Amino acid sequence: MEAILVEKGIIGTDAIDYMSSVYEHQVGPQLGAKIVARAWVDQEFKQRLLADATEACKEMGVSGMQGEEMIVHENTDSVHNMVVCTLCSCYPWPVLGLPPNWYKYPAYRARAARDPRGVMAEFGLELADDVEIRIWDSSAELRYWILPQRPAGTDGWSEEQLAELVTRDSLIGVADVATPQAS
């Protein structure tokens, strides 16, 4: 597709390079992972993130279109959160990057609200029956994402090491962060 657009003069390779760079360095799940890692090591930052995710993200230089009004929900031993947009595919692009195709599919959107345990199981996440699941339905005005639990065995790890463990799927809530032994 890219080659055809360039060949027909519709878009230049410089524009493609620029957009690739934006999504590689300025938006994406690596930015959300850095924010999560900071929250895991800095309790004051974590409280600011949970109180006002949009402003806390700005502290780390992360903001922009589709990130104007964000709320972060924290996973705990007793509550697991998951994000969906049942109407379309609203998504916090600055911290998660491009939405995965499955996030936009009507089947995911419907099943995430109706059968979240089943959806998570398809991603390999099995939660105990006593863990409450909360589904957060994003909209054009408000976008949710998840602060996953810090995995055991990471005491003393740097923010950079911790950020390497965080995935886009854990920020959506369909997966947990892998423990170091399993990663």
Helix H, strand E, coil C: the string for 87-100 is CCCCCCHHHHCCCC
Is 57 an active-site residue? no
Q: 146: which strand partners? A: 73
Copy the structure tokens of residue 151. Answer: 């995995």
Catalytic residue among 20, 21, 88, 158: 88
Measured from the Cβ of residue 70, the count of other Cβ atoms closer than 10 Å reads: 24
89 is catalytic: yes
Distance of CA 89 to the CA centre of its chain: 13
Report pLDDT for 175: 97
pLDDT band at 6 (very low <50, low <70, confident <90, very high): confident
All structural domains of the chain with their residue ranges: 2-172
Q: Residue 90 catalytic?
A: yes
Q: What is the per-residue pLDDT across 93-148, written as a single tens digit (0 to 9) for each?
A: 788 887 888 998 999 999 999 999 999 999 999 999 999 999 999 988 899 999 99
What does the longest C-alpha to C-alpha distance in the chain come to?
57
Burial (CB count <10 Å: 0-12, 13-18, 19+), residue 137: middle
Which single residue is written with the structure tokens 């345990």? 117
What is the CATH topology of the domain spanning 2-172? Nitrile Hydratase; Chain A (3.90.330)
53-96 pLDDT, tens per residue? 999 999 998 766 555 789 999 999 999 999 999 887 787 878 88
